[in-house]
Amino acid sequence: MTHVNSLMWFRQDLRLADNPALVAACDFAARHHSHVRAVYFVTPAQWAQHDVAPIQIDFIQRHVNLLVQALAALGIHLDVLHAQDFDEVQTRLAAYIEQHHIGAVFAANEPEINERRRDRDLIDNGVPLTLIDQDCVLAPGNVNNLAGGMYKVFTPFAKKWKSIASQRAIIVVPVPSPMAAALTLPDEIVFSCDTISSDQWPAGEGTAKRILDKFVASQIDDYLAERDFPALEGTSRLSPFLAIGVLSARQCVAAILSRYPQALVDDTCPAKTWLNELIWREFYRHLLVAFPRLSMGHNFNELGNAIAWHNNPHQFSAWCEGRTGYPLVDAAMRQLNQTGWMHNRLRMVVASFLTKHLLIDWRWGERYFRQKLIDGDLAANNGGWQWSAGTGCDAQPYFRVFNPMTQSSKFDPDASFIKRYVPELSAWSLADIHQPKTVNVNDLFAQRQDDGYPQPIVEHKMARLRAIEILSALKRG
C-alpha cells in the first residue's frame, strides 16, 4: 500500500481551532483521498528531566482526553503513546509511521532546544516531518533589528513587532471540517506518571475561549489599574491554557482586535497593557530560539557567571515553604504550593527576594517554579527569573531590590490576600503585617515569637546593601 495517510502530531497545541498544522494534515489527506491520524506522546522521563509540574501533567491529561473526543467527532483517531524520553519517541514514531502507512507528518515548531534537536534528528533520519510556525503570532526570526539580529531590549522589539503585525491579517484558523464519520470514543486515557489534581482549574478549549472573550469584553479596560493587586481578579488567568496550547497567542490578539481594531497602532488603546504582556511572551520565545543557551540554564548576561551566590539550603527551604517572616512573600509562596499558580506581581516579588535578599541562584527558584506551576513554560519562566535576578535580556537592574514591605502595603493594602494564605496573621494589625520602615524590626518580632509566625530570616536594609555589592559583578568586566 502506498504511504499516503497523514499524521498530526500534537504537542504544546492541544486544540482544534487556530491549529494550522492540523489543517495541513487534513488538507494532505483530502488531496490524497486518504485518512488523517493523530498522535500525542506521553514522555514521563523527559517531563521529569524538564521538571514539569505534576499539576500541569494532570491538566495536560484532562485536555488530551477532551482532544480525543473532539477529534473523534471529526472522524480522526488520536493515539496516545507512551515513550520515556525523546530518544524513544523517535523509535516509536518511526514504527507508527510504518504501521499506519503515513506519508506526511505535521507538527508545530517548538522554541526549546531539546525539542528542536529532536525534530532535526527526525528529519535527518528521513521522517517526513513538516514543521509549521504557529507557536507565536510572529515566528521567531521575523522580528529583527536593523542588523538583522534579535533585539536584546523589549521596547524596540515590541515596537517592531506591532509594526509588522499591524500589516498582517491576524486571522484565527477555523476548525477543520469532519474527515469521516464520527468515531466511537475510547476509554479515558490515564498517563503513566504521577499527577496532582488540577480540578480547581476549568478545562476545555471552549472554556478557554469563553474566559478570553469575557476578559476582553469586560475586564481588559481595567487591566492596567488592577493587574498588580493579588486580592483582585484583575488578570486574565489564561496562562495555563496558553502554556499547553489549548489557546493560541493569535486567538488572544485577534480577540483584542475584534474590540479594538486600532490596538496595534494606537498607544492610547485601553488594551495596550495586556497586549504588551502577550508581546513579552513572544519576546521570550524568540530569545529561546536566538540564544539556545537559555534553554540550558545559562545566564544571558555572562557577567552573571561571576556572581557569588550564597545558596543557603535552609533559607531556600523557608522560601519554598512560605515561612520567610515576610507576609507577602510567604502568602505568595503558599498560593503557589496550594494552587499551582501565582499572581504575576508576586512572581516578581518572590523572585527578587530569593535572588537579592537571600542571594540564592535564580536557577534554584526557576526550577522550583517549574515543578509547581500549572502554567509552567520554559521561555516565560526563564525570562522572568533572569529579569528579576538582573542576569537576563533587558533585565531589571541589579541594584533594584524590591522592598517586600513596601510591595505589601502598596499592592495588598488591606492584607486580604495575605490573610487568605497566611491565616495565622488574621488578628494582626495592618501596621504589623506590612512592617513599616519606622518600626524596629527586631523589637517588633521579639514580641511575636509565640504566635506561630516566624521572624524574618533576613533584615531588609542589610540584605539590600549586600545584594548591591554582590550583584555588582553584573557591571564589571
Burial category of 223 from C-beta neighbours within 10 Å (exposed 0-12, middle 13-18, buried 19 and up): buried
Please report which residue ranges of 205-271 form alpha helices under DSSP H: 205-218, 223-226, 239-244, 249-259
| Alpha carbon distance 300, 295 (integer Å) | 10
Local structure of residue 357 (DSSP, 8 states):
I
Q: How much is the pTM?
A: 0.95
The identity of residue 269, as a single letter, is C
- Which candidate in 226, 276, 344, 459 is catalytic? 344
- Which candidate in 88, 114, 276, 277 is catalytic? 277
Q: Average pLDDT of each block of 10 consecutive residues along the chain (477 residues)?
A: 84 98 98 97 97 98 98 97 96 97 97 97 97 97 96 97 97 96 93 95 98 98 97 96 98 98 96 98 98 96 96 98 97 98 98 98 98 98 97 93 96 98 95 65 44 88 96 82
Q: Which three cell numbers stand for residue 323?
A: 515561612
Using DSSP, how many helices (H) and how many strands (E) does the chain show? 21, 5
- Which candidate in 9, 161, 385, 428 is catalytic? 385
Domains and CATH numbers, the chain: 5-132 (3.40.50.620), 136-172+203-290 (1.25.40.80), 302-475 (1.10.579.10)
Query: Which CA distances in Å does 314 have to 322, 451, 457, 466, 470?
Result: 12, 22, 10, 19, 20
Nearest CA to 40 out of 69, 16, 60 is that of 60
Q: Is 385 a catalytic residue?
A: yes
- Which candidate in 47, 161, 201, 280 is catalytic? 280
- Which candidate in 161, 341, 362, 428 is catalytic? 362
| Alpha carbon distance 325, 315 (integer Å) | 11
- Which candidate in 142, 309, 312, 337 is catalytic? 309
- Say which residues have a Cβ less than 8 Å from residue 39's Cβ, sequence separation at least 6: 7, 8, 9, 10, 78, 79, 80, 81, 93, 96
Q: Is 362 a catalytic residue?
A: yes
Q: Tell me what pLDDT residue 435 has.
A: 79
Q: Is 309 a catalytic residue?
A: yes
- Say which residues have a Cβ less than 8 Å from residue 146's Cβ, sequence separation at least 6: none
Q: Tell me what pLDDT residue 475 has.
A: 87
CA angle 102, 106, 109 (to 5 degrees): 150
Nearest CA to 345 out of 261, 393, 408 is that of 408
- Say which residues have a Cβ less than 8 Å from residue 217's Cβ, sequence separation at least 6: 259
CB environment 353-380: b (16+ within 10 A), e (fewer):
bbbbbbbbbbbbbbbbbbbbbbbbbbbb
φ, ψ of residue 175 in degrees (nearest 5): -65, 135
Q: Is 344 a catalytic residue?
A: yes
Please report which residue ranges of 227-326 form alpha helices under DSSP H: 239-244, 249-259, 272-290, 313-321
Q: Which three cell numbers stand for residue 70?
A: 473532539
